[in-house]
């Protein structure tokens, strides 16, 4: 019988340790002579996560006060929406390695300039998007694009580190986040109190909590720094963990070791999922446990509790490993189908789609406010109509992107990024 078929209390930690060592094996990327092809699983998962986030945001902004009580709203918000952000960030790290492999021979100085330009471009796009959608007052809300821009710069320096050091850095971030949050008044930035999340609280009261209000950005420098590192929508602590882990997985792809790693990645993924649910439930048994500062606490997305990080990492690693095997790891070419083709199109224009979708959501709300004098949020439509509206927005994006591709994607954010960086790093290679 295979040893992995029976895990007792002694073999389980050893198996996890062996899995960690497998992922940390040194890889000499400079000696590989083959050219990386575009990886289908990256595009499909990134397009799917982007689609989920677009639909989720439409439901959040256009759903009325009763929409959160709908199971459909819960699934879109706390499954596709929350996990979609994690998949998106994981693939940032994976794509950096895969794209870097295609650009070998450019030169270290040019690669560094390209990384800094790319990071600054995406960071600035995130600030501009927030200002265009919600006004200059809310510019510093630290949405996902500012995190991605920062991650590009961090990941450049990760090229010089062994994989074990990168994973150790990710573990350090997870470990330090609750302690760092204990040094600030996190709740004050999010409306002062937290509530139980509807739907799931009917079955497991208190297992998932969320802030009662929205994050309150500020133009004061101390609050801006605190939001960037700790209390914004997607702060460095702990959200930088996901690009770091994706970077290590990208190295395994480049080394053509992902198929061999599949059992270990699934083991690690499901072990983290089990750990997440165990510690979250244990948090319910500890009166007064805080999802902000405690290590054993209920699930929370804002802030990302430690238990939620375990769950997010576990499901993201397992899901991407399986998708890589299906789309890229087998000898037979899979039939991708129409949905995969749509997700690939969304992925190729992910920066533009994400940048445009928030103003597309917010501007009609501003028009209603200008003509009626009232804030229309939480008073527009139920969960199902908001869901359909989100799907209609995705369909509109797909039609526009198809027409845009016929014209060479001119003036898209991806086009602008390429024009800005190609003179610095040269035209060699493509981004994943």
pLDDT in tens, 397-416: 999 999 999 888 888 999 99
pLDDT band at 12 (very low <50, low <70, confident <90, very high): very low
**Which residues, listed in sequence order, are joined to residue 358 by a DSSP beta bridge?**
none
Res 373: pLDDT: 82
CB 329 within 8 A of CB 258: yes
Range 70-93 average pLDDT: 94
Crossing angle of helices 337-348 and 383-406, rounded to 10°: 70
Share of the chain above pLDDT 90, in %: 71
Q: Which of 430, 347, 392, 290 is nearest to 47 (CA)?
A: 347
Query: Which residue carries 């809300």 as its tokens?
Result: 141
Indicate whether 30 pLDDT > 90.
Answer: no
- Which tens digit of pLDDT belongs to each residue from 171-221? 999 999 999 999 999 988 998 889 999 999 999 999 999 998 889 999 999
The SS3 assignment for 265 reads helix
Has residue 136 got a pLDDT over 90?
A: yes
Asked if 194 and 212 count as a contact pair (C-beta separation under 8 A), the reply is yes
- Provide mean pLDDT across the span 257-284: 95
Query: How far does the chain reach from its first CA to its final CA, in angstroms?
Result: 41
> pLDDT band at residue 234, thresholds of 50, 70 and 90?
very high
Alpha-carbon torsion, ordered 107, 113, 114, 117, to 10 deg:
180
Name the least confident of 188-202, 258-272, 418-432: 418-432
pLDDT single digits (tens) 315-353: 999 999 999 999 988 877 666 788 999 999 999 999 999
Element (H, E) at 163: helix 163-181
Give the span between the Cα atoms of 232 and 216, in whole angstroms: 9
> Phi and psi (nearest 5°) for 195?
-125, 160
Residue, of 136 and 374, whose pLDDT is higher = 136
Q: What is the pLDDT of residue 56?
A: 96
Averaged pLDDT, 274-278: 97
- Report the C-alpha gap between 297 and 196 in whole angstroms: 13
Q: Which residue has the higher pLDDT, 2 or 166?
A: 166
- The overall average pLDDT reported for the chain is 88
Which DSSP symbol is given to 382? Answer: -
Domain residue spans of the chain? 44-424
- The answer to whether 343 and 52 are in contact (CB under 8 A) is no
Is 20 a residue whose pLDDT tops 70?
Answer: no
Q: Would you state the pLDDT for residue 372?
A: 86
DSSP-derived letter for residue 10 is T
What pLDDT sits at residue 424? 62
The CA distances from residue 198 to 52, 115, 395, in Å, are: 20, 42, 29
* 426 and 36 Cβ atoms separated by less than 8 Å: no
> How would DSSP label each residue in 189-246?
HTTS-EEEPTTGGGTSTTSEEEESS-----SSHHHHHHIIIIISSS-HHHHTHHHHHH
Using the predicted structure, report yes or no on whether residue 394 has a pLDDT greater than 70: yes
Cα 127 to Cα 136, 137, 144, 366: the distances in Å are: 9, 11, 10, 19
């Amino acid at each position: 019988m295979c040893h992995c078929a029976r895990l007792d209390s002694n073999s389980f930690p050893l198996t996890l340790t062996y899995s960690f060592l497998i992922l940390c094996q040194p890889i000499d990327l400079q000696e590989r002579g083959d050219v990386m092809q575009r990886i289908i699983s990256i595009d499909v998962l990134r397009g799917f996560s982007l689609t989920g986030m677009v639909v989720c945001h439409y439901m959040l902004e256009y759903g009325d006060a009763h929409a959160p009580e709908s199971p459909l709203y819960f699934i879109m918000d706390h499954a596709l929406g929350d996990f979609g952000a994690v998949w998106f960030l994981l693939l940032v790290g994976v794509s950096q390695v895969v794209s870097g492999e295609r650009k070998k021979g450019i030169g270290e100085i040019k690669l560094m300039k390209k990384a800094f330009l790319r990071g600054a471009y995406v960071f600035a796009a995130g600030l501009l998007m927030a200002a265009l959608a919600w006004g200059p007052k809310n510019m510093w809300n630290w949405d996902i694009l500012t995190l991605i821009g920062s991650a590009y710069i961090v990941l450049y320096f990760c090229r010089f580190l062994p994989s074990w050091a990168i994973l150790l850095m990710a573990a350090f971030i997870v470990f330090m986040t609750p302690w760092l949050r204990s040094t600030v008044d996190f709740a004050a930035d999010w409306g002062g109190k937290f509530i139980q999340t509807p739907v799931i609280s009917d079955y497991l009261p208190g297992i998932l909590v969320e802030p009662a209000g929205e994050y309150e950005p500020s133009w004061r420098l101390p609050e801006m720094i605190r939001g960037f590192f700790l209390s914004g929508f997607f702060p460095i602590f702990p959200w930088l963990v996901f690009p770091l882990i994706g970077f290590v997985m990208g190295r395994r792809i480049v080394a053509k070791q992902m198929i061999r790693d599949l059992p270990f990645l699934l083991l690690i993924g499901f072990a983290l999922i089990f750990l997440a649910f165990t510690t979250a439930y244990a948090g319910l048994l500890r009166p007064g446990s805080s999802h902000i500062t405690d290590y054993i606490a209920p699930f929370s997305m804002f802030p990302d509790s430690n238990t939620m990080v375990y769950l997010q990492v576990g499901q993201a690693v397992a899901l991407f490993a399986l998708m890589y095997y299906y789309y890229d790891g087998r000898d037979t070419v899979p039939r991708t189908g129409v949905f995969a083709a749509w997700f690939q199109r969304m992925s190729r224009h992910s920066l533009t789609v994400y940048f445009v979708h928030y103003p597309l959501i917010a501007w009609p709300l501003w028009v209603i406010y200008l003509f009626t004098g009232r804030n229309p949020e939480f008073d527009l439509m139920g969960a199902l109509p908001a869901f359909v509206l989100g799907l209609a927005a995705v369909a509109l994006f797909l039609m526009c992107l198809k027409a845009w591709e016929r014209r060479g994607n001119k003036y898209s954010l991806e086009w602008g990024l390429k024009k800005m960086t190609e003179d610095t790093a040269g035209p060699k290679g493509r981004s994943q």
